[in-house]
Structure 1
Amino acid sequence: MTWLVTGGAGYIGAHVVRALAENGIPPVVIDDMSSGHAAFVPAGVPFVRGSILDFALVEQTLREHAIEGVIHVAGYKYAGVSVRRPLHTYAQNVEGTRIVLEAMAATGVANLVFSSSAAVYGTPDVPLVTEDLPKRPASPYGESKLIGEWLIRDQGVATAESPQPLRHTSLRYFNVVGSGYLDVYDSSPHNLFPLVFEALIEGRTPKIFGDDYDTPDGTNVRDYVHVADIAAAHVAAARLLASGSPIEAAYNLGSQNGLSVRKIMDAMARVTGIDFTPEIAPRRPGDPDRIVATGDLAARDLDWRMRYSVDEMVRTGWEARRNAG
């Protein structure tokens, strides 16, 4: 029951790889190292360095390792930057997904967990985002993830009557934070936690972009979910697919309540022991007041739950970043 993890040397992918191994499911990694770290891949895990845009390489990897299913995490994940680099975003996220699907079809691999994004919803004006909400992505990144879901859906329909119909699910989530291992950390130059960590390490004052939103403390409210919980949900989805049990086409991995940016900043100061008052900067265009998703379906089928408090999210992320030097 070997599973291929695309993007398995990245922050989220590496957590998925380790969660698979810890649950007795042998993982194989393919990663082009555009944002991954070879050190994140555990010793003994087969590691193929290359791009998912290389059909021959993906097909060869699936065949050589007798892959049963794919957890497709690889992708270009920077929503803001995607506005400036739409062609690159579509190449990585749309064409990359198409090639993974084509290689799976060529090798008879029929189980797929797609690491999608809550960015497919855009900026919905509802208290809680549910899976059936209209999809109105607000960036090329969100659009590329939605198109990826469409490709997967259509391949599922096309193979429904074949001997090996594609079984699949897409996991949608917002802000992934924390760490499950001291040697794996979020190195993104765009995510809130690493931005704050780098500011604190360098002696700079972290920024809050806008404090006049229609929320209890005036700052944005978002889903923040621990990366270890995200990884566990991917493993649960893989198990469900492999068992042949019924599965939904998509699941939100949401917190149900969300956290404000100010609460995150308060936790940062409390956990790190570095006393600071965040600098208030102007709002960023397009930032909505609140986006929070429900995780009810995932709780029902994938044992999804929030196992970490905000302080634990900060502590695990901070310890991993400090360990990196």
Structure 2
Amino acid sequence: MTWLITGGAGYIGAHVARAMTEAGERVLALDDLSAGVPARLPAEVPLVRGSSLDGELLKRVFAEHAVTGVVHLAARKQVAESVAQPTRYYRENVGGLVTLLDAVAGARIERFVFSSSAAVYGDPGADLITEDTPCAPVNPYGETKLAGEWLVRAAGRAHGISTVCLRYFNVAGAAAPELADTGVFNIVPMVFDRLTRDEAPRIFGDDYPTPDGTCVRDYIHVADLAEAHLAAARRLAGGGGTGDLTVNIGRGEGVSVRELITVIGEVTGDRRPPLVEDRRPGDAPRAVASAARAAAELGWTARRGVHEMTESAWRGWRLHHGS
């Protein structure tokens, strides 16, 4: 098999490419390099520069590389940005997926793994979110991911494509320092950035209905997430994944923003108290996964904890920022 990874030079994509390559899978990366870094990719992984919005390019890539499966990661993913730019998010996340699925169907590719998100659930008010929890996204980013799942399943039924939708919870950490997240959009690098500039971390809202008033999230190490993609791809390649499967990818443990900042202080040695600012639009109070289905269907369970995530992310931050 040959797997095309869209967004393959990105933070998550490069981890998936490395995990799959090290497991003996043949991998090809497609990335427009708006956020991707070519040096992240293993030397043996070819990189095609381009977008999933480019249908003609996709047709050529599928034919020239004899692609037999797709792992679709390329997307815009910032909640606040999606609130401010909803049309851009629908155009790139949903429109790009439409173009990609048309090309997949035309090339008779029968295996498709889709990068979804816990944002599809919105604010369900559940202690643990299962895959059967009703989906009611509270921001355009989550809406585009839910619409993406609908498209993936519909295309699968129409064209005989076996599909897996992976609903990520909050991703952090790095399998190696050179693969670390170089953006300052997720909470761990955002706190690192503040500390590096000799500023206190920020908490966006401390009046949520949670034990300490700050948002509670399920944090998953990116290396565990990459292994989940490998498990999904192998399920499809082995013929055991006919039809469609949707699974949460998380640890099943909640950590509040304030608790996470405490861990970051322990790892970095900078324990200054955080500043509390206004809530951000689109943030749900709590989002913690039930990971039982992933264990049962994929044979996958997260193995790394929050302290290990933070330590690995800090090593990567120091490499890239010289601190």
TM-score range (shorter-chain normalised) is over 0.9
Q: Which runs of 5+ in 1 are unaligned?
A: 160-164
Q: Could you tell me which residue of structure 1 aligns to residue 279 of structure 2?
A: 283
Q: Could you tell me which residue of structure 1 aligns to residue 76 of structure 2?
A: 76
Is 1:272 the counterpart of 2:291? The answer is no
Q: Could you tell me which residue of structure 2 aligns to residue 213 of structure 1?
A: 208
Alpha-carbon deviations, 1:31-71, whole Å to 9, x = none?
Answer: 00111112212222110001111111111111111111000
* Structure 1 letter corresponding to 2:284: P
SS in 2 for 1:5: strand
Q: What aligned pairs does 1:232-251 form with structure 2 within 5 A after superposition? A: 232-246=227-241, 248-251=244-247
Q: Could you tell me which residue of structure 1 aligns to residue 95 of structure 2?
A: 95
* Structure 2 letter corresponding to 1:55: G
Higher deviation after alignment, 268-277 or 233-242: 268-277
Higher deviation after alignment, 214-223 or 72-81: 214-223
**CA offset at residue 76 of structure 1?**
0.8
Inter-partner Cα distance in structure 2 for 1:6 and 1:262: 34
Alpha-carbon deviations, 1:211-236, whole Å to 9, x = none?
Answer: 23332222211111110011100110
Q: Which runs of 5+ in 2 are unaligned?
A: none
Q: Could you tell me which residue of structure 2 aligns to residue 257 of structure 1?
A: 253
Inter-partner Cα distance in structure 2 for 1:122 and 1:78: 15
Q: Could you tell me which residue of structure 2 aligns to residue 158 of structure 1?
A: 158
Instruction: Rate the CA distance shift 1:286–1:20 in 2: closer, same or farther, 3 A.
Output: closer
**CA offset at residue 310 of structure 1?**
1.4
Q: Could you tell me which residue of structure 2 aligns to residue 137 of structure 1?
A: 137
Q: What aligned pairs does 1:168-207 form with structure 2 within 5 A after superposition? A: 168-207=163-202
- Tell me, yes or no, if the aligned pair for 1:253 and 1:304 is still in contact at 8 Å: no
Q: TM-score normalised to the size of structure 1? A: 0.95
* Structure 2 letter corresponding to 1:195: M
Inter-partner Cα distance in structure 1 for 2:276 and 2:120: 29
Identity among equivalent pairs (%): 48
Q: Could you tell me which residue of structure 1 aligns to residue 45 of structure 2?
A: 45
Q: Could you tell me which residue of structure 2 aligns to residue 295 of structure 1?
A: 291
SS in 2 for 1:27: strand
SS in 2 for 1:219: coil
Q: Could you tell me which residue of structure 2 aligns to residue 65 of structure 1?
A: 65
- Tell me, yes or no, if the aligned pair for 1:178 and 1:314 is still in contact at 8 Å: yes
SS in 2 for 1:80: helix
Alpha-carbon deviations, 1:84-141, whole Å to 9, x = none?
Answer: 2112111111111111111111111110000011111111111111111111111111
Alpha-carbon deviations, 1:173-227, whole Å to 9, x = none?
Answer: 1210000111011133321011001111111111112223332222211111110
Inter-partner Cα distance in structure 1 for 2:122 and 2:42: 36
Q: Could you tell me which residue of structure 2 aligns to residue 162 of structure 1?
A: none
Higher deviation after alignment, 273-282 or 125-134: 273-282
**CA offset at residue 286 of structure 1?**
4.5
Inter-partner Cα distance in structure 2 for 1:218 and 1:122: 18
* Structure 2 letter corresponding to 1:198: D
* Structure 2 letter corresponding to 1:193: V
Inter-partner Cα distance in structure 2 for 1:122 and 1:59: 35
Q: TM-score normalised to the size of structure 2? A: 0.95
Inter-partner Cα distance in structure 1 for 2:190 and 2:132: 33
- Tell me, yes or no, if the aligned pair for 2:207 and 2:213 is still in contact at 8 Å: yes
Higher deviation after alignment, 5-14 or 270-279: 270-279
**CA offset at residue 145 of structure 1?**
0.9
**CA offset at residue 285 of structure 1?**
4.0
* Structure 1 letter corresponding to 2:41: V
Q: Could you tell me which residue of structure 1 aligns to residue 105 of structure 2?
A: 105
Inter-partner Cα distance in structure 2 for 1:25 and 1:272: 36
Inter-partner Cα distance in structure 2 for 1:253 and 1:118: 9
Inter-partner Cα distance in structure 2 for 1:16 and 1:239: 13
SS in 2 for 1:67: coil
* Structure 2 letter corresponding to 1:91: R
**CA offset at residue 18 of structure 1?**
0.4
* Structure 1 letter corresponding to 2:11: Y
Q: Could you tell me which residue of structure 1 aligns to residue 10 of structure 2?
A: 10
- Tell me, yes or no, if the aligned pair for 1:123 and 1:291 is still in contact at 8 Å: yes
Q: Could you tell me which residue of structure 2 aligns to residue 124 of structure 1?
A: 124
